[in-house]
Amino acid sequence: MKAVIANDHGAVELSRRIKSHLESRNIEVNWLGITTEDSCDYPDQAKKAVDEFRKGGYDFGVLCCGTGIGISISANKLDGIRCALPQNCFAAALAREHNDANFIAFGGRIAYQDKVEDMLDAYLDASFQGGRHARRVAKIMDLEK
């Protein structure tokens, strides 16, 4: 599997943790994040990761900002992207099972009840269930037209 990751200054450490967790699962990571806490703009980081994802060869992307909110909103403005912002492992698994999310976002300044690594595992270990969910995902994508 291959993933692209990007972050802003609100999630430098979290982004590093995510990179090493994915690599520990033998997932190839293209890390486009920033490495310092110098301020940058999360819409630019979302676009950078999505542009890379669209080149092909990627299974999913991970986006991080202070809350995960701004960078996920930005990614969801871009055609073809379904970026989930899970609250816990349950939501992370359903992001794949029901929503077929191709990006997942987290907040570096959020005190999650579940570890981000566990949420990532829940997302990665789940599979899209299709059926009625495929109909709904198709309707989401039709909203882009």
Return the C-alpha torsion angle 64, 56, 32, 127, nearest 10. 30
**In the complex with ligand RB5, which residue's Cβ is closer, 119 or 124?**
119
Indicate if 83 belongs to the active site: no
45 contacts ligand RB5 (rule: CB under 6 A): no
Answer left, alpha or beta for residue 64, where phi above 0 means left and psi between -120 and 50 means alpha: beta
Site membership for ligand RB5, residue 10 (CB under 6 A): yes
Q: Does 70 bind ligand RB5 (CB under 6 A)?
A: yes
Please state, in angstroms and rounded to a whole number, the distance separating the CA atoms of residues 77 and 79. Answer: 7
Does the footprint of ligand RB5 cover residue 69 (CB under 6 A)? yes
Binding range to ligand RB5, per CB under 6 A, among 25-33, 43-51, 64-72, 92-100: 64-72
| Catalytic position from the list 9, 21, 64, 65 | 65
Binding residues for ligand RB5 (CB under 6 A):
8, 10, 42, 65-67, 69-70
